[in-house]
Structure 1
Amino acid sequence: MERFKIVRAFILGPLLEATVPKPGNVNRYRDFGDLTIYNFLFADTAVIGVYYEAVKTAELLRKGIISFSEAGIGELIKRAVQASREAQDANPNFGVIALSVPLIMGLTVGRNILDAREKARLLIEESTVRDTMELYRAIRIANPKGIPSGVKYDVYSDESFRELFRDGINLARLAEMSCERELIFCEWINGYDLSYSTFGRLYGLIKELPLEDAVVEAFLELLAEKEDTLIMRKAGRREADLVRRKAREVLNGNLSLQEFDAFMREEGDLRNPGSLADIMAVSLSLLVLRGLRMEIRNGKVWGVIGRP
Structure 2
Amino acid sequence: MRDPAENGQLALLLEVAGTPKPGNVDRERDYGDLRFEHFLAGAVGARTGLRAAADGASIGTAFESSIEGMSGQSGGNTQFGALLVTVPLVRAAADGRLTPDGVTETVEATTVEDACAFYEAFEHVGVAVDDPPEGLDSLDVRRGAAATDALRERGATLYDVMALSADRDGVAAEWCSGFERSFEAAGWLLDDEGPIHRRASRAFLRLLAAEPDTFVITRNGETAAEEATRRARAVLDGEADADALAEEFVARDINPGTTADITAGALFVALERGLEV
Q: How high is the TM-score relative to the length of structure 2?
A: 0.90
Alignment match, 1:13: 11
Alignment match, 2:42: 43
What CA distance in whole angstroms lies between the structure 1 residues aligned with 2:107 and 2:33? 33
The 8 Å contact of residues 42 and 88 in structure 1, kept in 2 or not, is answered as no
Q: 1:258 to 1:137 in 2, by over 3 A?
A: same
What CA distance in whole angstroms lies between the structure 2 residues aligned with 1:149 and 1:198? 29
Q: 1:6 to 1:159 in 2, by over 3 A?
A: closer
Task: Report the alpha carbon displacement of residue 189 of structure 1 after superposing the two structures with TM.
Answer: 1.5
Residue type at the aligned position of 1:235:
N
What CA distance in whole angstroms lies between the structure 2 residues aligned with 1:169 and 1:31? 38
Task: Report the alpha carbon displacement of residue 164 of structure 1 after superposing the two structures with TM.
Answer: 2.0
Q: Quick check: which has more Rg, 1 or 2?
A: 1
The 8 Å contact of residues 124 and 172 in structure 1, kept in 2 or not, is answered as yes
State which of 235, 240, 244 in structure 2 corresponds to 1:255. Answer: 240
Task: Report the alpha carbon displacement of residue 36 of structure 1 after superposing the two structures with TM.
Answer: 0.6
State which of 242, 258, 279 in structure 1 corresponds to 2:227. Answer: 242
The worse-fitting range, judged by mean Cα deviation, of 162-171 and 233-242 is 162-171
What CA distance in whole angstroms lies between the structure 1 residues aligned with 2:122 and 2:252? 25
Aligned pairs, number: 272
What CA distance in whole angstroms lies between the structure 1 residues aligned with 2:23 and 2:250? 6
State which of 106, 109, 134 in structure 2 corresponds to 1:126. Answer: 109
What CA distance in whole angstroms lies between the structure 1 residues aligned with 2:204 and 2:133? 33
State which of 156, 178, 184 in structure 2 corresponds to 1:197. Answer: 184
Task: Report the alpha carbon displacement of residue 291 of structure 1 after superposing the two structures with TM.
Answer: 2.6
1:226 aligns with 2:224: no
Structure 1 unaligned spans of 5+: 58-70, 295-308
Alignment match, 1:217: 202
Alignment match, 2:269: 286
The worse-fitting range, judged by mean Cα deviation, of 36-45 and 258-267 is 258-267
The 8 Å contact of residues 82 and 141 in structure 1, kept in 2 or not, is answered as yes
Task: Report the alpha carbon displacement of residue 213 of structure 1 after superposing the two structures with TM.
Answer: 2.8
What SS does the corresponding residue of 1:141 show, helix, strand or coil?
Answer: coil
Residue type at the aligned position of 2:22:
P
The 8 Å contact of residues 219 and 280 in structure 1, kept in 2 or not, is answered as yes
Structure 2 unaligned spans of 5+: none
The 8 Å contact of residues 140 and 155 in structure 1, kept in 2 or not, is answered as no
Q: 1:166 to 1:55 in 2, by over 3 A?
A: same
CA RMSD in angstroms, aligned pairs only: 2.1
Q: Percent identity?
A: 28
Alignment match, 1:142: 125
What CA distance in whole angstroms lies between the structure 1 residues aligned with 2:41 and 2:198? 25
What CA distance in whole angstroms lies between the structure 2 residues aligned with 1:181 and 1:194? 15
The worse-fitting range, judged by mean Cα deviation, of 4-13 and 29-38 is 4-13
1:276 aligns with 2:274: no
What CA distance in whole angstroms lies between the structure 2 residues aligned with 1:54 and 1:234? 31
Deviation per residue, 1:251-285 (Å, 9 max, x gap)? 222222233223312323xx111111011112112
Which structure's relative contact order is higher, taking Cα pairs within 8 Å and 6+ residues apart? 2
Q: How high is the TM-score relative to the length of structure 1?
A: 0.82
Q: 1:84 to 1:290 in 2, by over 3 A?
A: same
Task: Report the alpha carbon displacement of residue 245 of structure 1 after superposing the two structures with TM.
Answer: 0.9
What CA distance in whole angstroms lies between the structure 2 residues aligned with 1:275 and 1:110? 26
What CA distance in whole angstroms lies between the structure 2 residues aligned with 1:291 and 1:277? 21
Alignment match, 2:152: 165
What CA distance in whole angstroms lies between the structure 2 residues aligned with 1:257 and 1:85? 30
The worse-fitting range, judged by mean Cα deviation, of 277-286 and 162-171 is 162-171
The worse-fitting range, judged by mean Cα deviation, of 10-19 and 180-189 is 180-189
Residue type at the aligned position of 1:189:
C
